[in-house]
Chain A
Amino acid sequence: MMHRLDAHPDEWIDRKAEISFQFEGREYRGFGGDTISSALAAAGVPYLARSFKYHRPRHILSFANHDSNTLFQVDGVPNVRGDVTLLREGMRVSALNTFGGLTADKARILDRLGRWLPVGFYYKAFHSKRWFPRWERLFRRLTGLGTVSLDAERQTSPKRYGFCDVLVVGGGPSGLSAALQAAAAGAKVTLVEESFRLGGSGAALPEAELGEMRGLVEAVNRSSIEVCCATVAAACYADHWVALVDEKRMTKMRAKAVVLAPGVIEQPAVFRNNDLPGVMLASAARRLLLRHRVAPGRRVVMVAANWEAYLACTELKAQGVDIAAIVDLRSAETAGHEASACAAAGIEVLFGHAPYEAVAGASGAVAALDVAPLQGPGAVDVAQRRRLACDAVLMSVGWAAAANLLLQAGGSVRFSRELQQFVPSGLPAGVFAAGRLNGVYDFRSRVADGARAGSAAAMHAGCRAAAAPAGAVAAQARRPSHPFPIVDHPSAKNFVDFDEDLQVKDLEDAAQEGFDSSELLKRYSTVGMGPSQGKHSNMAALRILARYLDLEPGDLGLTTSRPMYHPVPLKLLAGRSFNAERRTPLDADHESLGAVWMPAGNWRRPEYYAVPGESRAQSIEAEVRAVREGVGLIDVGTLGKIEIYGPQAALFLDRAYAGKFSSLKAGMTRYGLMLDESGVVIDDGVVARLGPETFYFTTTTGGSATVFRELLRLNALWGLECALVNVTGHRAAFNFAGPSSREALQPLTDVDLGEEAFPFLGVRCGRLAGAPCRLMRVGFVGELGYEIHVAAGDAVTVWRALHAAGLPRGLRPFGVEAQRVLRLEKGHLIVGQDTDGLTDPFEANAAWAVNMQKPFFVGQRSLKILQARGPRQVLVGIELPDSSRRPRESHLLIDRGAIAGRITSVAHSRTLDKVIGLAMLSPELARAGGAIEIRGDHGDMIAARIVPTPFYDPSNARQRIPARVAAP
């Protein structure tokens, strides 16, 4: 059983700070600096979790945040990683994925049902339609990790942006040395380490080398290097931007060069019951011992295939842990001098032996290990097996390169038979590998390799002081990893993947069923697809597949993990929710007038102004009535507003827009239609000529940014003598419209509003309520009206003056909804609502706004083809009696049972007392007076009539009202 040892000067815990917490409802105590897993291990809790599929009891495996055995639900937060989450006072911790608690988990029966849960079970079971719903219900209940609390507090995690010359990933000997070397060359260096402190994984080192390591750590701490501990470099994207994830946030680190020194990940041996509590990686035991003073047990069996196993045993023995035996998979000849030292110290070493089966005791934890002589890959001589009583089994049989970031960055790897490890074979520009990732295991070689990589990286980052990097450092001469640390067993339960409870036979079955490449095997069996992303299973799976196919692991190749290769809380990816919303200068005034907001492009605009006692429909109707009978005021400052200057400004507009503007007189405006190269209508607006070389024009609200950008591109392409300025945010605009608008406006302005002085479609500059203004007589809403453009800073003054002047004449501010009704009554189209991505001007009834005689304009050549072809649909007006069955936008028009078109806009017009709309219709049916049917929401047919537009005031008489007696 695991237990805490006496204090040691190098321990990471603070024994004076006692912390109490709950696990599965029981009270426990740990120390400051303990993680959840270390505190539970020290308390002797027999197991911490249940496995995902078979609900087997599990305990610490890697103690490196690499496996999913130690995920917990903590204070309502699911999937908290117990290996690296520090203990907090009062923490309430529970196990995941149990039915009735960790000990009494009802689902543990699944461990006996393994025979009926073959590999690819989902694919085999779910194809039956009859059974699918039952399976689905069952599996939704049984699977998944953790419970999401639906009333959890909202947490936002802003992202951080970081910049450095050299980013070093990994705080072991090679990473420390690389960082120091790069910093010495003058580089701005950031060093990222996954655990709480620098100094590497805790790999076994002799005392002298430990001293050198401390020296490196101190040198880094004294230097200008930015050190980020407890931070995972979880993904590598284009141009060396690396996602650094810590508990609080994600940092988007942009480096000029990256040194990858992530080291290697220790791999478990695969044998029956290798998942029992008490069976763990040797490196995990060392980390527990050195950092938290937790011994793995009182009597330990070491499964060994390299020298580190012996160093770990020497260390454990020095701490009073009894070593029952060392089971070395290798022969006595290949084991080194460390083995002889252990044997000399009285530890029994069984060479050429392998673990056959771990045996559980009463508590469920390991109580003995059956070992037998190894005969070939995966085979042991069962007849000669021997039982070793123990309470812990440690595994030190090999490593897998942590090549994930390297592969994501675009690097490649090859399999080294000598090392039994993948090593880099190709590195993208600016990415350098160092240390055990390169197959360099010896301490001093790692330091030298790091220095080489650090130099090269600083040089790549442009640091002139960088010394020329030394030549490559030789890889390890002795083999650190066993070629096949896997033992077959007729009763299976020899786990390859602890996340997904995959056994050796599952992978062999998958290969036999035809999924015999590493990519297919992964997807079919789900090996490496759990929370640990194959960190402990990919290598073994590859070896099993290679044996099955009689190939080498190198022939099969690694799968590249997608970024993020390490699980990251979604909140860190989501960051802060940031929706840029634009507001006009009048936002506060709208609010105080009761505006109900709606989004329009990236602006917010009043949909209508709520008045107490009125319904939404009543308010909109009253706003419409005010414009038709008195005066209304709307904020149209969201329109795109552009100025163009220069001797060729008119020519530019002639080429960019479908209409002709070179013939436009100064002081007048003209409707402009913008097309793309295929002749499709993409935007519209009003162009005002302020002078011979000056125009001011508007674009739609939604299109303002993209239209301006495209105009800039055309200007850059054509190289005409003119310049464009986007004044959308600089200028505010209102439409002041209604039969009383002129008399209300005249007292406020020095512009003569008389019909002759300022005709329909004219533009005048002057002052309004003291502010410089541009007035345009345009008629989007179909009444006498003025579009008023002022500087944004004057917007509030002018709006309030207009509001006050209009009130005695029945003014109401009106919103987007009323404006849509008003413009519909006039039959004016809205680009993007009444047109779509295929609508040309002929179809939109806007041929009048196109001048085909011009020498060139964007879309002209396509229009010639479209004109000859004839329209495929045309925009027509429809009307219905005011009935209860009201069609909606996008409802289909039906002619003799076939689809003939669709409604693009529809509204009830109180002015006309009927329902009116615009619709796209087949040209042969588009005869005024024709009847058409509309299919309503529930398939019911509604009769409608095709009518000419405008519906309201077809002669535009209301927009040209002669001036009455001038106001006083």
Chain B
Amino acid sequence: MKILVCPLNGPRPILEFAYGGEVRRSPDPDTCSDAEWSAYVFNRSGSPGLKYEWWCHIASGYWFVALRDTARDVVVATYTADRVRLGLPAPAAAQGGAP
């Protein structure tokens, strides 16, 4: 069982967390084509690498974003959820600058 460091609750066993999928930017629903929208809804990239992911600490109901290297299964950095709206750094930059 892995340990995940929650930005609010600190290190907790992975059992206490729920995975919410990759953080993905939706195309503008008002202007995108049907094909673009369908690709957003149904297609996921399974290629290993650095991915932003939604994670929820279940007991506290706290959602945050983890940058995870899915090839190594290592969480590189975590961010508060508002960063999804405000902008997340490019994965490579985030890894380089992680404390």
Mark A residues whose CB is within 8 Å of B.
237-239, 241, 252, 254, 677-678, 708-709, 712-713, 716-719, 726, 856, 860-862, 865
Contacts and interface: CB of A to CB of B under 8 A. Distances in A.
B77 interface: no
A713 B37 CA distance: 21
Contacts, number: 48
Given A713-B56, A862-B41, A865-B34, A726 B61 contact: yes
Given A677-B41, A862-B41, A865-B37, A713 B54 contact: yes
A719 B85 CA distance: 8
Contacts of A712: 56, 61, 63
B38 A709 contact: no
A678 B1 contact: no
Contact of B1 (A238, A861, A862): A238
A772 B26 CA distance: 44
Contacts of B10: none
Interface string B1-40: 1110000000000000010100000100100101001100
A921 to B, nearest CB: 26
B34 A709 contact: no
A241 B29 contact: no
Q: How large is the interface on B (under 10, 10 to 19, 20 to 34, 35 or more residues)?
A: 20 to 34
Interface string B60-99: 0101000000000100000001101100000000000000
Nearest to A713: B63
Nearest to A252: B1
Nearest to A240: B3
A716 B81 contact: yes
Contacts of A713: 20, 54, 56, 63, 81
Nearest to B82: A719
Nearest to A714: B63
Contact of B29 (A708, A716, A719, A861): A861
B85 to A, nearest CB: 6
A717 B1 CA distance: 28
B82 A238 contact: no
Nearest to A410: B72
A713 to B, nearest CB: 5
B61 A708 contact: yes
Given A716-B63, A717-B85, A709 B18 contact: yes
Contacts of A237: 1
B85 A239 contact: no
Nearest to B86: A719
A237 B54 CA distance: 24
A408 B63 CA distance: 32
Max chain B Cβ within 10 angstroms of own Cβ: one of A678, A708, A713? A713
Contacts of A678: 41-42
B7 to A, nearest CB: 12
Contact of A238 (B2, B20, B56): B2
Nearest to A868: B34
Contacts of B73: 238
B29 A239 contact: no
A716 B3 contact: no
List the 3 shortest-distance A-B pairs measured between CB atoms, nearest first.
A716-B81, A861-B29, A716-B63
A713 B62 CA distance: 8
B84 A717 contact: yes
Nearest to A724: B61
B42 to A, nearest CB: 7
A652 to B, nearest CB: 15
Nearest to A706: B18
Nearest to B4: A239
A76 B20 CA distance: 48
B61 A860 contact: no
Report which residue of A708, A712, A860 has the largest number of chain B beta carbons within 10 angstroms of its beta carbon: A712
Given A717-B81, A862-B37, A862-B41, A254 B3 contact: yes
A856 B29 contact: yes
A726 B34 CA distance: 36
Nearest to A855: B30
Contacts of A252: 1
Contacts of A677: 26, 41
A654 to B, nearest CB: 15
Contacts of B42: 678
B1 to A, nearest CB: 6
6 contacts: A239-B3, A709-B56, A712-B63, A713-B20, A713-B56, A719-B82
A863 B2 CA distance: 39
A834 to B, nearest CB: 23
Contacts of A716: 63, 81-82, 84
Contacts of B18: 709
Nearest to B73: A238
A109 B1 CA distance: 48
Contacts of A238: 1-2, 73
Contacts of B85: 717-719
Contacts of B38: 865
Contacts of A861: 29, 32, 37
A860 B37 CA distance: 11
A897 B42 CA distance: 34
Nearest to B18: A709
A239 B75 CA distance: 11
A852 to B, nearest CB: 12
A704 B84 CA distance: 25
A867 to B, nearest CB: 12
A719 B82 CA distance: 7
Given A709-B56, A709-B61, A241 B84 contact: no
A713 B84 CA distance: 11
Contacts of B58: 709
A718 B85 CA distance: 7
A294 to B, nearest CB: 42
A251 to B, nearest CB: 13
A718 B34 CA distance: 24
A241 B1 contact: yes
A936 to B, nearest CB: 36
Given A239-B1, A677-B26, A713-B81, 16 more contacts: A238-B1, A252-B1, A678-B41, A708-B61, A709-B58, A712-B56, A712-B63, A713-B20, A716-B82, A717-B81, A719-B82, A719-B85, A861-B29, A861-B37, A862-B37, A865-B37
Most chain B CB within 10 A, of A238, A708, A718, A861, is at A861
B25 to A, nearest CB: 11
A718 B81 CA distance: 9
Contacts of A718: 85
A628 B9 CA distance: 52
Contacts of A862: 37, 41
A578 B42 CA distance: 36
A839 to B, nearest CB: 16
Contacts of B34: 865
Contacts of B2: 238-239
A329 to B, nearest CB: 44
A665 to B, nearest CB: 29
Contacts of B32: 861
A402 to B, nearest CB: 24
A655 to B, nearest CB: 12
Nearest to A862: B41
Contacts of A860: 29
Nearest to A677: B41
A719 B29 CA distance: 19
A252 B61 CA distance: 26
Residue among A239, A677, A712, A718 with the most chain B CB within 10 A?
A239
A678 B44 CA distance: 14
> In this complex, which of A237, A678, A717, A865 has the most chain B Cβ atoms within 10 angstroms of its Cβ?
A717
A575 to B, nearest CB: 13
Contacts of A719: 82, 85
A712 B57 CA distance: 11
Nearest to B84: A717
B38 to A, nearest CB: 7
Nearest to B11: A239
Contacts of B37: 861-862, 865
Contacts of B63: 712-713, 716
